[in-house]
Structure 1
């Protein structure tokens, strides 16, 4: 874990090594990711290439529209997390949520969100797969005010 809990180049390389063990039939693999500065390093690109992983970096400030996990999994996660947390607080009036209790709640929420259907729907909603240039409404491309 990084000192501040955020991704570092070293952690991302370790992730790529772990991720590569689970590639389908060890064939070509596409990894879609955001443009965080810790992900944009030559050593990362080189490591991915050596592992047979093609990196596709989403354009800056577009992950809310283009990242499949944001569109489907995390949205579902927020709703389930809120429900489980309210249930926890009802059962535990002291409302203290330490690391162990956090993990208990997380273990109830995660399987409800990280489902094949949610993941597939995330890719469909972003238009990444199947490829659909109409998936994102035109208003999403308007400048921010």
Structure 2
């Protein structure tokens, strides 16, 4: 996606949708850290349209991006299931651009708004809750690319802080004291990633 295409999406699709559905502004639009989403032109356009852009930190999608948390995983599973079903009913036929619409239709019908809402909740974005995040995903493991063995094991913020150590916590407190608006829900979250990843 290019910056121009994303800007066009905001002005011609997203903003008119908000107006058409009487959604009060300002609204928050969470975006990933891709360079096409962070341009001066887009920021100015969104300011005029009453859209507050919140860029999620790059390379943290497994914990902070709602769609990665609760939508894309289930979509991948549904896709595999629907392709297997398609191939069982159409022996020897391969999924192509000509026949994928029926598969996608089945998948879209399975995705419920509650899945998306739960992604925002699990990411700690809405309602804002820093303890909703599974901080174990931030820790390195011996088996790269694999999740911890216990499926539903969560770590509290307090436990995570004890693991990352007092030095990093001290850096975070210094950064937080220098922040312009420490009450902003995004400030604490942003400070955490500045310290950890920079």
List per-residue Cα deviations over 1:80-111 (Å, max 9, x = no partner): 11110000011112232221211121111012
1:132 alignment partner in structure 2:
129
Aligned-pair distance for 1:140? Answer: 2.6
Alpha-carbon contact 2:83-2:95 (below 8 Å) kept: no
Instruction: Indicate whether 1:118 and 2:118 are aligned.
Output: no
User: Which of the numbers 121, 139, 142 marks the counterpart of 1:142?
Assistant: 139
Gaps in structure 1 of 5+ consecutive residues = 1-6
Superposition TM-score, scaled by structure 2 size: 0.65
Aligned-pair distance for 1:143? Answer: 5.4
1:13 alignment partner in structure 2:
7
User: Which of the numbers 12, 23, 26 marks the counterpart of 1:25?
Assistant: 23
Gaps in structure 2 of 5+ consecutive residues = 145-198
Superposition TM-score, scaled by structure 1 size: 0.87
How many residues of Structure 1 are paired with residues of Structure 2 in the alignment? 138
> Secondary structure of the equivalent of 2:30?
strand
Aligned-pair distance for 1:29? Answer: 0.7
Q: Distance in 1 between matches of 2:107 and 2:121?
A: 23
Asked which structure has the greater RCO (Cα within 8 Å, sep 6+), the reply is 1
Alignment of 1:33-72 (within 5 A): 33-72=31-70
1:4 alignment partner in structure 2:
none
RMSD, matched Cα: 1.6
Larger Rg computed on CA atoms: 2
